[in-house]
Chains A and B, each alone.
Chain A
Amino acid sequence: MTGFILKFRYIIITICALIGIGSLLLIPRTKVDPDIRNYIPRSIDSRVQTDRIEEEFGTQDMVMILFSDSSILDQDNLRRIKEIDRGISKLGGVGSRMSPFTVSSISSEEGMMVVKPLIGDIPTDEESRNSLRDDILANDFACDIVFSSDMTAASVTATITGTIEENITTDRIDSIVNALPGKAEVMKGGLPYIRKSLLNDVRKDAIILVPAAMLIMLIMLRLNLGNWRSVFMPFSVVFITTAFSMALVPLTGWKMSIITVLVPVILIGVANNYGIYLVARFQELKFYNPDLSVRELLDSLLKSLNMPILFSGLTTVAGILGLLAHSIIPARQVGVLAASGVSMALLMSLLLIPSLISVNSTRLVPKKKRNSETRFFDRLLTALSDIIIRRPGRVLAIALAVILIFAAGIFLIRIDTNMENYFSSNHPVKLASEVINKKFGGSQTISVMIEGDIKDPVLMTDIDRMTNEIESMEGVGNVFSISRVVREMSKAIFVKGEDGYDRIPDSREAIAQMFELYSMSGDPEDFRQLADPDYMKAHVLVRFSKPDNKHVNPVNARIAELAKDMDATVSIGGYALIMSDFSESIIRGQISSLVFAVLTVLLLLALVFRSLKGGMIGSIPLLASIVILFGFMGFSGIPLDAATALLSSIMIGVGVDFTIQYVWNFNLQINSGLSWPDATRTAMRTIGRSIIINALSVMAGFSALIISGFTSIRFFGYLVLISIGSCLIGALLIIPAILLKFKPAFIGFKTNKQ
């Protein structure tokens, strides 16, 4: 190995540099995908159904422009809304619109059915404003849809078609709104704006987080290794592997998602570990053996560290590859990218770092150890080992009690797939979403497509029943359906008190003729969203004021139940449903990736320790950390979402290193003839210190996430501190205590060093 490195060191350095440069050139080609629906495989039923429904009734993703003012019916406010609405109506990328100026009122006046705009002339005096207020409150298609019932807000809603890129349309809407300033506060929301903000914030996050993590890492490396020349070596591995992983995104044709930004941060946290071990060990070897040649130093270095580094790297890769069992697409991508990065870091640490050491060896100055630092670690670790040696049983009992307490928190864990919650509470998109959900029935929807003879009064009555039942359910804002239009028309055709008033007619012809009547008086496009031109398909659109799974799932279940009684084919789709599937994916993915990662790591540990029991004992700190992590999430209210769902696999991948390092070193001490307590003391003092430094440097790398623009990424940052911390405690408290208490037979396994 040493000979190979010395022979090819310049070629190795050149190839690594070229990989780095090539990767850097590819990164600018990266595209961002802000659409969370693409996180779900296309084959999942809710996506298939949503695509089918959207093919017929167009996309239901809507932009909502909100106007808030205590006197929203003021002349100036209404004029401004009219102008903005007019501007939006002329945009090519906009499909159907709903605004105070598109809503019709259907009424019966002196025997006339009058279909007219809700606002004909903008009211100029108090009396006409009061009259308009009454009209709004009486109009099912206006109240809490285009005007809030408290008359403090109005909205213009537009669906976005695929004809023009969504961002161009939202930019043009922004220009229209900006060109028409006024008294009312304007907020913009809906999924296209959420996606736009995600797109911008993902880029912003990548630009801020990656350099911040790099900087923190540089400082950590400098503190650990003592001089910049030594820092350069592991840092170059971090830099090149991070660039390499991110270059895989455009190379594979993938797109950046909100969670892909975790990949560089994971690598910055993890990829330097092997380099730190190598450089620090080299400094130590050189310090104690100043007369050895470069070849001898390298030989000694690689012999002592290659195997543990290789095992550490492989277990980390195995843990991270657990993400492949996830059903969320970007989670699998993060798994592949991070695992590729760690593999590359491993390879480069074993080839590039020795090559760089051999080139730089004469100038590598060992770090001068500060007495205070050494004393601190010595005291801490000695105290810790004393406690463990004296009362390993009690240590284990306390650990078990703590784990059990955290286990209770697991039952409190909640899943959150609502994109609105990715943003902090003062983010404009979040504020707009709150107003939309509170005052305008929400922007996230379930779409129901009913295929049958829509003019059949039995089916129309069933649709009406579904509409009414669903609208009365908790968390539902508004429900739009063709049956509502029919009932509204019946109010204009019949006089109050007459049989047909506010009812679905009982003959097919009557319904058909009502539609014809409307097509002659209103605009048939008004309900193109609610029925197809042949009246063979109807669309029921459910808007959620509380778009979380707690409310979406019962609605979905009730629709499915009501659909059974219908003489029609019923398909259920929509964004809210995709999100519901998404949360199930998160749970399934979480369980399968955990099982995969734990089993793989257990197997690898069993191989490393040459004992199945060793593998099982080595897995205990990981299992404990998993319980603590989920328990903490449950107690603290941090939800399981697209980002935090990745944590356990990454934690397993990273945290397993600590156990391997400790058991490996403890085994060495036992093999060198020390008693179990003495071996514990020595292992704690030597490798314990490295493990703490390693854990701190991983935590430091991940701590950059705390400044992320996304709430869930920030939570991820906090949780990494908890989970790596618990892995650390597991490796330095639970494992030594177990080894001492049970003295397992596998200890004493042969290592290549012997």
Chain B
Amino acid sequence: MNTNMKKMSILLILLLPLVTVAAQQPNAVEVMNKSRELSIASSLSATLKLTITEKNGSERNRTVSMTTKSYSGGLEKRLVRFLEPADVRGTAMLIVDHKDATDEMWIYLPALKKTRRIVSSEKGKSFMSSEFSNSDMTSPTIADFKHSFVGDQSSGNQWKIESIPVNDDKADEYGFSKKVSYISKNKYEVMKMEFYNFDNELFKVIETKATFPMKDGRYMIKNMVASNLKSGRKSEILFNNIVEGGKVDDSVFTLQNLQQ
């Protein structure tokens, strides 16, 4: 499976052609593929605000600026710079996703004036200590799961698709036993995802709150909320200042720039 597509951009789980809704009903894998394809952007810059709300109502916020660019051959580069909180301002990460090789990640720590290359974390692990996992922040890898429709799909305006990891290793990697996705029939947009733990209990729900229209009828999810039903914590991601498809210079993705 294409690594480029799979991780296409942080946060972009997106979708949809306004265009042709095939006259013939697609199968579950086709729906998932289509939904994923529509999440690809050639370049994107935005600010991302992450709000984590504890069970007791206390909140933590982080804001980062982010620039991504896709290259041929499935290569994608991404620069993330922390704006908030103050004590990590200036911390920056450069991530290079290779199609067929291990991803590379550098992080610059301004207080220590050190740049370190680090080995990227597992898909199932938390994204910036939030309820989102790293895999929630990238386009799904279709071949890692067996997909099937749940129930009768002929009526209603959403497809309900169950995705089960193909083997135990994948289940361990992603950290769940089953995912149920609700995808709009007209826009192929992921509206909601439900995650089940290894006791087959629903433990996490991600809901799409708002989308941002991109070129060629594509959309990105602008605002989404992940709720952990076990811990009572919620995490919300909100994108602002979205610029899609603009010109991004390659020099953005260099170690020199990382340290500025």
User: When the two chains form their complex, are residues B114 and A493 in contact, meaning their CB atoms are under 8 A apart?
Assistant: yes
Q: Which residues of B contact A505 (CB under 8 A)?
A: 111-112
* CB atoms of B110 and A520 under 8 A apart: no
Residue of B nearest to A108 (CB): B116
Q: Does B82 sit within 8 A of A, measured CB to CB?
A: yes
Chain A residues within CB distance 8 Å of chain B: 86, 89-92, 108, 111-116, 163, 455, 492-494, 500, 505, 507-510, 512-514, 516-517, 519-525, 533-534
Shortest Cβ distance from residue A163 to the other chain B in the assembled complex, whole angstroms:
7
Q: Is B128 an interface residue (CB 8 A)?
A: yes
| Residue pair B121, A523 in contact (C-beta under 8 Å) | yes
The verdict on A513 contacting B117 (CB below 8 Å), with A92-B197, A505-B112, A519-B128 known, is no
- Which residues of B lie under 8 Å from residue A513 when comparing CB positions? 87-88, 91, 109-112
13 A-B residue pairs with Cβ-Cβ distance under 8 Å, sorted by A, are: A91-B198, A92-B199, A114-B118, A493-B114, A509-B87, A510-B111, A513-B91, A514-B109, A516-B91, A520-B121, A522-B121, A523-B121, A524-B126
Chain B residue numbers with a CB within 8 Å of A111 are 116-117
Residue of B at shortest CB range from A528? Answer: B129
* Contact A113–B118 (Cβ < 8 Å): yes
Asked whether, in the complex, the Cβ of B107 is within 8 Å of the Cβ of A492, the reply is no
Q: Which residue of A493, A519, A521, A534 is within 8 Å of B119 (Cβ)?
A: A521
Interface class of chain A by DSSP = mixed
| Chain B 100-127 residues near chain A, CB threshold 8 A | 105, 107, 109-112, 114, 116-122, 125-126
Minimum CB distance partner of A172 in chain B: B199
CA distance A115 to B116 in the complex (A): 12
Instruction: Contact check, B118 vs A115: say whether CB atoms are below 8 A apart.
Output: yes
Check if B117 sits within 8 Å of A517, measured CB to CB. no
Across chains A and B, the number of contacting residue pairs, with CB separation under 8 Å, is 103
Please state if B114 and A114 are interface contacts (CB–CB under 8 Å). Answer: no
B251 on the A face (CB < 8 A): no
Give Cα A127 to B131, complex, Å. Answer: 41
**In whole angstroms, how far apart are the Cα atoms of A479 and B118 in the complex?**
27
* Contact call A90/B111, Cβ cutoff below 8 A: no
Q: Is the CB of A521 within 8 A of B121?
A: yes
Chain B neighbourhood of A519, CB < 8 A: 126, 128-129
> Whole-angstrom distance between the alpha carbons of A534 and B107 in the complex?
21
Instruction: Determine the residue in chain A with the shortest Cβ distance to B108.
Output: A513
Q: Nearest Cβ distance between residue B11 and chain A, in whole angstroms?
A: 16
Complex CA–CA separation, A513 to B62 (angstroms)? 13
> Is B109 a contact of A517 with CB atoms below 8 Å?
yes
Give bound CA distance, A113 to B120, whole Å: 10
Max chain A Cβ within 10 angstroms of own Cβ: one of B105, B116, B230: B116
The answer to whether A493 touches B118 (Cβ under 8 A) is no
- Please determine whether B230 and A163 come into contact, CB atoms closer than 8 angstroms: yes
In this complex, what residue of A is CB-closest to B117?
Answer: A112
Most buried by A among B105, B121, B172: B121
Q: How far is the CA of A510 from the CA of B230 in the complex (A)?
A: 33
Known: A493-B114, A520-B93. 9 other contacts (CB 8 A): A89-B198, A92-B201, A116-B119, A513-B111, A517-B107, A517-B109, A521-B107, A521-B121, A523-B126
- Which of B88, B112, B198 is in CB contact (< 8 Å) with A90? B198
Is A112 in contact with B199, judged by CB distance below 8 angstroms?
Answer: no
CB-contact partner of A533 in B52, B120, B168, under 8 A: B52
Chain B residues closer than 8 Å to A493, beta-carbon distance:
109, 112, 114, 116
A509 in contact with B88 (CB, 8 Å): yes
Q: Which residues in A have their C-beta under 8 angstroms from that of B230?
A: 163
- Contact B125–A523 (Cβ < 8 Å): yes
Q: How far is the CA of A116 from the CA of B119 in the complex (A)?
A: 7
Q: In the complex, what distance in Å separates the CA atom of A505 from the CA atom of B198?
A: 40
Enumerate chain B residues within 8 angstroms of A163, measured Cβ to Cβ: 230
Contacts of A524 on B, CB cut-off 8 Å?
Answer: 126, 129
Q: Give the chain A neighbours of B172 by CB distance below 8 A.
A: 86, 89
With both beta carbons as reference points, the residue of chain A lying nearest to B175 in the complex is identified as: A89
